[in-house]
């Protein structure tokens, strides 16, 4: 194996989240999505050892593919698995995951830990700092309905760089956001980051009673320049991820906005031509359609490597009213300059 690149990748996993950090030879994954996208990516990159695997919370769209990763000893070796100890909403997948993790612990010596705020995971000049949830909340249990509230929030920090690269809030809702903000203020912790992967796939349902204010609060907290949305394009009769208001508000706040998939709330009709800038490595259900697809950033500079912004821009301009461009953006997406800097 030659020299590894250092990149931060937000995978198009369809519905869900999965982020891969490659720092030289060290690999960390935060959430796995559900389905084959992460595994396909790891095969493609010839990654066999995962040094750190963090699962933000127990919903399948964040942890589903962890099972295959942990159980396939012939292909993958997970050295350290970190989970969320908040237990009030678990699934069949979670029960299986616990069993598979225990087996991996015995067979391969994999280490198993839970994470709460205040803890960090450091490797190769990168620190993953956990900002949420608190130990007290985890101990008390959140109640089945509010498992998203106690999703881990992870800040991706880089050595010798003042500005953190990214904030990954999983599915954290408006109450979780309030707790996060209070914690950071009380402890004088800087939660800012260049890239915000917007929580809960941009849904409006976890925003409380004022969606715009909720978006404003996340952007004010992080000072994000780039806001990413990870979700599957939904059939029109289902709840839509993300809400159009969340997309347009993020853009109106001056952020460059990119989506893994073409949101139904952004464009209901499929555009006349397939996106040229997305390499078709993953098979998807029929209604799904990538927009920016999988996004790869240089780990140190935060500059977007893939997709090529010009061809993505050309694709977006096929649409009547793309939510990632506000009215002032005429022919050229000025905000997207931030992606190259």
Residues forming contacts to Zn ion in the complex (CB under 5 A) are 59, 61, 148, 171
CB of 34 to Zn ion, least distance (A): 10
Consecutive H or E run containing 78: strand 77-78
- φ, ψ of residue 292 to 5 degrees: the values are -85, -20
Q: How far is the CB of 148 from Zn ion (least distance, A)?
A: 4
At closest approach, how far in Å is the CB of 61 from Zn ion? 4
Find the shortest distance in angstroms from Cβ 190 to Zn ion.
Answer: 26
**Angle at Cα 212 formed by Cα 211 and Cα 213, nearest 5°?**
95
Nearest to Zn ion of 32, 148 (CB atom): 148
**Nearer of residues 16 and 307 to Zn ion, judged by Cβ:** 16
- C-alpha to C-alpha distance for 263 and 260, rounded to whole angstroms: 9
Would you say 151 or 250 has its CB closer to Zn ion? 151
Report, in angstroms and rounded to the nearest whole number, the Rg of the chain calculated over CA atoms. 19
**Closer residue to Zn ion (CB): 11 or 309:** 11
CA distances from 329 to 115, 261, 268 (A): 42, 21, 21
Alpha helices in the chain (DSSP H): 37-44, 60-63, 66-71, 92-108, 135-140, 174-187, 211-222, 244-252, 309-316
Q: Strand pairing partners for 7?
A: 22, 298
- How far apart CA 66 and CA 98 sit, in angstroms, is 11
Task: Give whichever of 19 and 148 is closer to Zn ion, judged by the CB atom.
Answer: 148
Query: In angstroms, what is the minimal distance from the CB of 309 to Zn ion?
Result: 27
Compute the least distance from the CB of residue 35 to Zn ion, in Å.
13
Pairing verdict, β 7-10 and 18-23: antiparallel
Backbone φ, ψ for residue 8 (5° rounding): -120, 115
Question: In angstroms, how far is CA 42 from the centroid of its own chain?
Answer: 17
Q: Decide whether 161 or 205 has the Cβ nearer to Zn ion.
A: 205
Q: Which is nearer to Zn ion, 158 or 177 (CB)?
A: 177
Structure tokens at 336: 């997207």
Q: Minimal distance in Å, beta carbon 58 to Zn ion?
A: 8
């Amino acid at each position: 194996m030659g020299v590894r690149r250092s990149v931060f990748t937000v995978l198009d996993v369809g519905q869900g989240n999965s982020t891969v950090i490659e720092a030289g030879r060290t690999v960390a994954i935060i959430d796995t999505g559900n389905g084959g996208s992460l595994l396909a990516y790891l095969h493609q990159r010839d990654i066999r050892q995962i040094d750190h695997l963090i699962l933000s919370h127990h919903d399948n769209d964040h942890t589903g593919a962890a099972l295959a990763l942990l159980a396939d000893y012939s292909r993958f070796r997970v050295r350290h698995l970190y989970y969320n100890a908040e237990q009030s909403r678990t699934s069949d997948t979670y029960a299986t995951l616990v069993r598979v993790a225990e087996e991996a612990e015995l067979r391969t010596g994999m280490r198993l830990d839970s994470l709460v705020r205040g803890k960090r995971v450091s490797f190769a000049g990168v620190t993953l700092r956990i900002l949420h949830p608190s130990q007290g909340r985890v101990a008390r249990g959140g109640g089945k309905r509010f498992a998203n509230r106690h999703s881990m929030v992870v800040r991706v920090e880089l050595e010798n760089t003042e500005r953190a690269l990214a904030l990954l809030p999983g599915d954290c809702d408006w109450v979780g956001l309030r707790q996060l903000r209070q914690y950071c203020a009380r402890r004088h912790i800087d939660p800012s980051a260049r890239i915000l992967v917007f929580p809960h796939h941009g849904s409006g349902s976890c925003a409380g009673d004022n969606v715009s204010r909720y978006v404003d609060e996340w952007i004010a907290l992080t000072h994000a320049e780039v806001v990413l949305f990870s979700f599957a394009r939904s059939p029109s009769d289902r709840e839509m991820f993300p809400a159009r208001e969340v997309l347009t508000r993020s853009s109106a706040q001056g952020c460059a906005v990119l989506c893994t998939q073409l949101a139904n709330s952004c464009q209901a009709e499929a555009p006349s031509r397939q996106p040229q800038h997305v390499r078709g490595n993953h098979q998807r259900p029929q209604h799904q359609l990538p927009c920016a697809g999988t996004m790869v950033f240089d780990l140190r500079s935060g500059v977007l490597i893939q997709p090529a912004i010009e061809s993505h821009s050309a694709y977006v301009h096929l649409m009547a009213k793309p939510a990632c461009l506000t009215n002032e953006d005429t022919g050229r997406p000025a905000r997207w300059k931030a992606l190259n800097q």
